[in-house]
Amino acid sequence: MAAGRGGTGRGFVIEADGGSRGNPGPAGYGAVVRDAASGEVLRETAEFIGVATNNVAEYRGLIAGLRAAHELDPHASVHVRMDSKLVVEQMSGRWKIKHPDMRPLAAEAQRVFPPGSVTGYEWIPRAENKHADRLANEAMDAGRRGEQWSAAASTAELEAADERARAQARSETSGAALPRTAVSGRVREPAPAEPSAAADPVVPAPAAPAGDDAAETSAPQSGWGPDLGPPTTFVLLRHGETRLTPEKRFSGSGGTDPELSAAGWQQAHAAAELMAARGTLQGIVTSPMRRCRQTASAVAERTGLEVHVDEGLREADFGAWEGLTFAEVRERHPEDLERWLESTEVRPTGGGESFATVAERVAVARDRLLKQWAGRTVLLVTHVTPVKTFVRLALEAPPAALFRMELSAACLSVIAYYADGNASVRLLNDTSHLR
């Protein structure tokens, strides 16, 4: 199943993705065929496939992309790019395929082109696979409406290009370079990695992704694979309480920017004591908001580390909901709240930021910080939404996962990012230092 020599016809690059809203749940796939030399999109394909797992949808996307390329030129040389580590490793022959649902799909993908025509399978970060991801989501949206995906109605290519342009503009403003997505090349920024200062664990090399075929390597080695060097570890500290926290009021970046309460200062000092005792921190980065800067200052005082401010770590802007409780928002803006709960693309009443917008901002900040703090352990003092977003992105969980996490004031979470692009959530919502 490993890559071969290449065909005798044209050169294509296939970008494929699949997703499931529930895993298993309503699922769909998307795939793009590009000209390897110019990057021009030659074919798009997507389909809603009913209830399936993420891995099944990803394989179905691969098969559809290969078939689309074969229809264009059955003698082509094909290079496949996907953000599914599982599919890439299994199709490259480095991981065994044990799950019964995966074997026939992998065999079907292998039969599309003659041996040697597929020159390689390449893992890419999700941010570089936006076009296929958009197609998969369009297919799932169509399925929810009882329809099938339509190429004529698709806006995936335009949206992916627009998102890339906006991300590039943000990176140029911040001075951080985005990874290049040269279609015929392999140029990418090193992927993330993360250790845990709070739990002080032994940091293993990255494990294979969880799912239908988790950790199925053909030749298991110590720590699941070769030594990738020290991971980059983000220790995520939610700020201490403010006067709004116990009342469970919306408190984002569009409100009054409250300071820590007396209880919040106690929580900040407790976190600082733990960080000083562990002695593993090598840097502190904080949201610009007052409650975070105060929490970070407590840790800096105990550890002697300098505090850096990053705008990307600020809380979401909750618009007209700032300062209100959930019940008050439901009473005053019931329809807006219902739409907001149904989709992370929806903004709060009166403007503010959607969770999708926050995710884009946090992803840019993550990539920038990974580059700045490569191989080190850094404390990020931030808010509920950014912490949940870091965790969701690391797990490659669907956007709805944001509504299924609970984070207490001054809690600690830890993510380790490894050089091959794998991320490992090591700790979530730990409050043992507050007891």
Could you tell me which of 93, 92, 91 has the C-alpha nearest to residue 63? 91
The number of residues in the chain equals: 435
SS3 428: strand
Query: Distance between CA 387 and CA 392 in Å, rounded?
Result: 9
Could you tell me which of 305, 232, 243 has the C-alpha nearest to residue 272? 305
Which residues sit opposite 249 in a β-bridge? 325
Is residue 426 within 8 A of residue 201, CB to CB? The reply is: yes
Catalytic residue (choose from 315, 322, 353, 360):
315
Catalytic residue (choose from 79, 239, 333, 383):
239
Is residue 163 within 8 A of residue 49, CB to CB? The reply is: no
Query: Distance between CA 142 and CA 121 in Å, rounded?
Result: 29
Please list the alpha-helical segments (H only) found in 14-155: 54-72, 85-91, 102-112, 130-144
Determine whether 315 is an active site residue: yes
As to burial, measured by CB atoms within 10 angstroms (0-12 exposed, 13-18 middle, 19+ buried), residue 115 is: exposed
The alpha carbon dihedral of 173, 178, 181, 186 has a sign of: positive
325-353 in b/e form (b: 16+ CB < 10 A) is eeeebeeebeebbeebeeebeebbbeebb
Determine whether 328 is an active site residue: no
Catalytic residues, by residue number, are 239, 315
